[in-house]
Amino acid sequence: MAIRYSFVFTFIILLSTISLPQEIVRDTIPKYAYSTIPEFWSQMNDIFNDPNFSNAQWGVVIQSLETGEYFYKRNEDKLFMPASNLKLFTTAAGLVLLGSNYRFKTNVYMNGTVDGSVLKGDLVVQGRGDPTISSRFYDGDMFKVFEDWADSLLNMGIDEITGNIIGDDNAFDGVGLGAGWAWDYESNWFAAPSSAICFNDNCVNITVTVSRNTHQPVITVEPDTKYIIVLNKVVTVPKDSSTSIDAYRELGTNVITVFGTIRDDSDSVKTYVTVNNPTQYAMVVLKDVLRRKGIVIDGYQIDINDMTTTLDYSKMKLLFTQYSPPLKEIVKAINKLSINLYAEQLLKTIGLELKGYGTAANGIAAEYKLFKDMGINPEAMNIVDGSGLSRLDLVTPRQIVALLSYMYKSKEFIPFFNSLPIAGVDGSLGDRMQNTKAQGKIRAKPGFLEGVRSLSGYAFTGDNEPVAFSIIVNNFNVPVKLAENIQDLVCLRLANFKRK
C-alpha cells in the first residue's frame, strides 16, 4: 500500500523517532509552541487533515480543565468505537459507585460438620467476582491464595474432607464473553471469559522449549492440571530459521493445540490460552493444591454449574473470607495494563452490588444512571461490555471528555488519575513519547482494535494548565503506527503549549 506523506506528517515521523533525531525534536519543538488557541486550532486542522487518513474519521476534543475553553474540537458528537478507551467509563463508574477501597470477597464455607480432623461434608467456595486470585497480585505465585486457604484449614485442624469441592458462581450470569466479541478471540488471553470465580486470569500458561538431548519441542503447562489437554504440533527448525508459536483452544472444550516453529537454539517461548468453564478450572486446581498440602479429598464432584436451587448459606458455617486488594489497585491493572477480564469483572460486580445480580446489563444500567449525573446522555451512546473489546461499543469524544472532567472534580480523582498509563514511563504508554517534553506530562488510556486507535486522558501544558482530551480514529487502513504518531504529536504540542 502506498503511503502519502504531507509536510506535517514528515514532521510527525521525525518526532516519533526516539534515537538519533532527538536533536531534531529538541530544536524543532519550540517553533510549534503556540501562544493563542486560534493558532493551535489551525495547526490541529493541518495535522488531522493528513491525507493518509482521508478515508478514515478522526474524533477529537481538547478542553481546558481550568477555564472550560476548548483548545480544539473535531467530530466531537459523532459516535466512535472507543476500543479500550471504554475502560475509562468502567473504572470511573467502579470508583465512584463502589469506592476506591472496595474489595472483592470470596467466602469459603463448610456444608457439614467437623469430627476430629475430618470435615464430614462439602467445602463450598462462594465467588463474588474477584479477578485477583492469580500471580499478578501475589509476587508471581498463582497458587498463593489457594495455599493460604489450605493452611487455614490445617490451622483449624481439618486435614480430610469427605465430600466435594463446590464452586458457587451464581452471583454472576453464565455469559462469559461480551456481546459482539469476535469468535476467533476466544482462545486469546485478552478475551478470557468472566466468571464469579476466577483463577490465574482464567488462563493457562504454556511454555515451549527445545530438548537439548532430543532436539524436539517440549511443552509445559502451568498449572499442571489434567483439566487441560495439550496437543503438541510444534516443529523444531534450524538455527537460521524463525520462531513462531501460537495456540488454539477448540471452542467449548479445554483441548489446546500448540503449533508453529521453534528454532533449535531458541530460548523458551511463553503464551497464554483461555480456559472453558473458569469455575470448574479453579475448583480442580484448588483440589490439587489442597491434596498437595496434605488434605485428603474423598469426594468426586468439583463444581456445581447451572444449579436449579440456590445454596442455603444460613445452614452452613463460614470458615473464612478472602479479600482482594482495594479497587484503587485493581483499576491500575485495568487501565495501565488494559486487562479486559478485570474490566468485565468490575462491570458485573457493579451490577451485583447495585442491582443484586452480576450481569453486564445490570452493570451498564447502574453506569448509565451515573453518566446522567456527569451530564452525559446515555441514550446517545451504546455500551455492551466493560472492556471495549466489542465493536458494538459506541461513544463520542465529547462524552469521554465529560467523563474526564467529572472525574477531575471527583473525590476519586487521585486513584483514577493514578491508574492511567504515564507517557514514556509505564503501562501501555511506556514506549511512547519517551525523551520528549510529553514524557510524564500525559496520563492517558490507549485503545486498539483493528481499524481503531484511541487515546484519551489528561495533559499538562507548558504552563502546567490541566487539559482533558480524547483523540480517536476509526476506519483507517494504514499502519497503526501512523495513527499513534499523530496522537503523540498532539500530546507533544500540548506539553509545549504556553499562553504567554
400-454 pLDDT per residue, tens: 999 999 999 999 999 999 999 999 999 999 999 999 999 999 999 999 999 999 9
Between the CA of residue 150 and those of 144, 219, 222, 326, what are the distances in Å? Answer: 10, 29, 19, 23
CB 53 within 8 Å of CB 451: no
**What confidence score (pLDDT) does residue 20 get?**
29
Q: At what angle do helices 360-373 and 86-98 cross, to 10 degrees?
A: 80
Backbone phi, psi, residue 434, to 5°: -65, 145
Backbone phi, psi, residue 410, to 5°: -85, 155
Rounded Cα distance between 228 and 255, Å, is 6
Residue with cell 476466577: 198
CB 277 within 8 Å of CB 303: yes
**What confidence score (pLDDT) does residue 304 get?**
57
**pTM score, two decimals?**
0.92
Return the CATH number of the domain spanning residue range 7-100+329-496: 3.40.710.10
What residue spans of 31-140 are helical by DSSP H? 37-48, 86-98
Rounded Cα distance between 164 and 304, Å, is 10
Q: What is the mean pLDDT of the chain?
A: 92
CATH architecture of 103-325: 3-Layer(bba) Sandwich (3.50)
Q: What is the pLDDT of residues 249-305, one digit of tens each?
A: 999 999 999 999 999 988 899 999 999 999 999 999 999 999 999 999 997 666 655
Q: What is the pLDDT of residues 328-364, one digit of tens each?
A: 999 999 999 999 999 999 999 999 999 999 999 999 9
Q: What is the pLDDT of residues 123-171, one digit of tens each?
A: 999 999 999 999 999 999 999 999 999 999 999 999 999 999 999 999 9
Count CB neighbours of 411 within 10 A.
Answer: 11
**What confidence score (pLDDT) does residue 307 get?**
52
**Is residue 23 over pLDDT 60?**
no
DSSP 162: S
Backbone phi, psi, residue 345, to 5°: -60, -40
**Is residue 48 over pLDDT 90?**
yes
Give buried/exposed letters for 128-152 (b at 16+ CB in 10 A, else e): bbbbbbbebbbeeebbebbeebbee
Per-residue pLDDT, averaged over 34-50, amounts to 90
**Is residue 2 over pLDDT 70?**
no
pLDDT confidence band for 309 (50 / 70 / 90)? low
Per-residue pLDDT, averaged over 377-397, amounts to 98
Pinpoint the residues of the chain covered by CATH 3.40.710.10: 7-100+329-496
Pinpoint the residues of the chain covered by CATH 3.50.80.20: 103-325
Among the listed ranges 3-7, 38-42, 203-207, which one has the minimum average pLDDT value?
3-7
**What confidence score (pLDDT) does residue 308 get?**
52
Label each residue of 38-52 as H, E or C: HHHHHHHHHHHCCHH
Does a cis peptide bond (omega within 30 degrees of 0) precede residue 21? Answer: no
Rounded Cα distance between 299 and 122, Å, is 8
396: its cell numbers:
463520542
Rounded Cα distance between 360 and 350, Å, is 9
pLDDT confidence band for 28 (50 / 70 / 90)? very low
**Is residue 13 over pLDDT 80?**
no
